[in-house]
Amino acid sequence: MATNVVLAILVTSIATYLSRFLGVVSSEKIKDTSKMFRWFNCLAYSTLAALIARIIIFPSGDLAEVDLLIRIVVISISLIMFYFTKKNLVYPTIFSAIILSFLNYIV
Protein backbone atom coordinates (compact mmCIF):
# COMPACT_ATOMS: atom_id res chain seq x y z
CA MET A 1 0.00 0.00 0.00
CA ALA A 2 2.76 2.45 0.92
CA THR A 3 4.60 1.66 -2.31
CA ASN A 4 1.52 2.51 -4.36
CA VAL A 5 1.13 5.84 -2.59
CA VAL A 6 4.77 6.76 -3.15
CA LEU A 7 4.52 5.69 -6.80
CA ALA A 8 1.36 7.79 -7.31
CA ILE A 9 3.02 10.83 -5.74
CA LEU A 10 6.12 10.32 -7.89
CA VAL A 11 4.18 9.97 -11.15
CA THR A 12 1.94 12.98 -10.50
CA SER A 13 4.94 15.07 -9.46
CA ILE A 14 6.79 14.20 -12.65
CA ALA A 15 3.73 15.06 -14.75
CA THR A 16 3.25 18.37 -12.94
CA TYR A 17 6.84 19.52 -13.03
CA LEU A 18 7.43 18.31 -16.59
CA SER A 19 4.54 20.42 -17.87
CA ARG A 20 5.80 23.41 -15.89
CA PHE A 21 9.31 22.92 -17.26
CA LEU A 22 8.03 22.74 -20.82
CA GLY A 23 5.99 25.89 -20.19
CA VAL A 24 9.08 27.76 -19.02
CA VAL A 25 11.12 26.56 -21.98
CA SER A 26 8.48 27.51 -24.53
CA SER A 27 7.39 30.78 -22.89
CA GLU A 28 10.00 32.87 -24.68
CA LYS A 29 8.37 32.20 -28.03
CA ILE A 30 4.82 33.09 -26.94
CA LYS A 31 3.59 36.66 -27.33
CA ASP A 32 1.10 37.71 -24.68
CA THR A 33 -0.77 39.80 -27.24
CA SER A 34 -1.43 36.89 -29.59
CA LYS A 35 -4.91 35.54 -30.19
CA MET A 36 -3.87 32.06 -29.02
CA PHE A 37 -2.60 33.41 -25.69
CA ARG A 38 -5.80 35.38 -25.13
CA TRP A 39 -7.85 32.29 -25.99
CA PHE A 40 -6.01 30.18 -23.39
CA ASN A 41 -6.39 32.99 -20.88
CA CYS A 42 -10.17 33.09 -21.47
CA LEU A 43 -10.31 29.30 -21.27
CA ALA A 44 -8.51 29.31 -17.91
CA TYR A 45 -10.80 31.98 -16.46
CA SER A 46 -13.95 30.24 -17.72
CA THR A 47 -12.82 26.93 -16.23
CA LEU A 48 -12.13 28.62 -12.91
CA ALA A 49 -15.53 30.34 -12.97
CA ALA A 50 -17.26 27.03 -13.72
CA LEU A 51 -15.49 25.30 -10.85
CA ILE A 52 -16.36 28.07 -8.42
CA ALA A 53 -20.00 28.03 -9.56
CA ARG A 54 -20.09 24.26 -9.10
CA ILE A 55 -18.71 24.57 -5.58
CA ILE A 56 -21.31 27.20 -4.70
CA ILE A 57 -24.34 25.54 -6.33
CA PHE A 58 -23.50 21.83 -5.96
CA PRO A 59 -21.08 21.58 -3.03
CA SER A 60 -19.77 18.35 -1.62
CA GLY A 61 -18.51 17.39 1.81
CA ASP A 62 -19.05 19.73 4.74
CA LEU A 63 -20.03 22.64 2.51
CA ALA A 64 -23.08 20.67 1.35
CA GLU A 65 -24.54 21.08 4.85
CA VAL A 66 -24.51 24.87 4.53
CA ASP A 67 -27.66 26.47 3.12
CA LEU A 68 -27.46 27.91 -0.41
CA LEU A 69 -28.62 31.33 0.77
CA ILE A 70 -25.78 31.50 3.30
CA ARG A 71 -23.23 30.56 0.63
CA ILE A 72 -24.55 33.27 -1.71
CA VAL A 73 -24.51 35.88 1.07
CA VAL A 74 -20.91 34.99 1.99
CA ILE A 75 -19.80 35.17 -1.66
CA SER A 76 -21.51 38.54 -2.12
CA ILE A 77 -19.96 40.01 1.01
CA SER A 78 -16.55 38.63 0.03
CA LEU A 79 -16.78 40.18 -3.45
CA ILE A 80 -17.69 43.55 -1.97
CA MET A 81 -14.79 43.27 0.45
CA PHE A 82 -12.48 42.27 -2.43
CA TYR A 83 -13.23 45.52 -4.25
CA PHE A 84 -13.08 47.67 -1.11
CA THR A 85 -9.63 46.28 -0.24
CA LYS A 86 -8.29 47.21 -3.68
CA LYS A 87 -8.46 43.63 -5.02
CA ASN A 88 -6.57 42.07 -2.12
CA LEU A 89 -7.34 38.35 -1.84
CA VAL A 90 -6.20 37.80 1.75
CA TYR A 91 -8.88 39.75 3.62
CA PRO A 92 -11.92 38.38 1.74
CA THR A 93 -10.60 34.82 2.02
CA ILE A 94 -10.11 35.00 5.77
CA PHE A 95 -13.32 36.95 6.27
CA SER A 96 -15.35 34.49 4.17
CA ALA A 97 -14.25 31.54 6.31
CA ILE A 98 -15.12 33.41 9.50
CA ILE A 99 -18.50 34.71 8.31
CA LEU A 100 -19.44 31.32 6.80
CA SER A 101 -18.74 29.60 10.11
CA PHE A 102 -20.63 32.29 12.04
CA LEU A 103 -23.71 32.28 9.78
CA ASN A 104 -23.80 28.49 9.65
CA TYR A 105 -23.63 28.34 13.46
CA ILE A 106 -26.45 30.89 13.91
CA VAL A 107 -28.80 29.49 11.27
pLDDT, position 34: 85
Please report the DSSP string for 61-81 in residue order.
GGGGGS-HHHHHHHHHHHHHH
pLDDT, position 37: 85
Q: Are 78 and 91 in contact (CB under 8 A)?
A: no
**Of 47, 46, 45, 68, residue with least CA distance to 56:** 68
DSSP letter for 58, please. S
Residues 31-88 have pLDDT tens digits of: 878 898 899 889 999 999 999 899 888 998 888 889 999 999 999 999 999 999 999 9
Nearest-10 crossing angle of helices 35-57, 68-84? 140
87: helix, coil or strand? coil
pTM given for the model: 0.61
What residue spans define the domains of the chain? 1-29, 31-58, 66-107
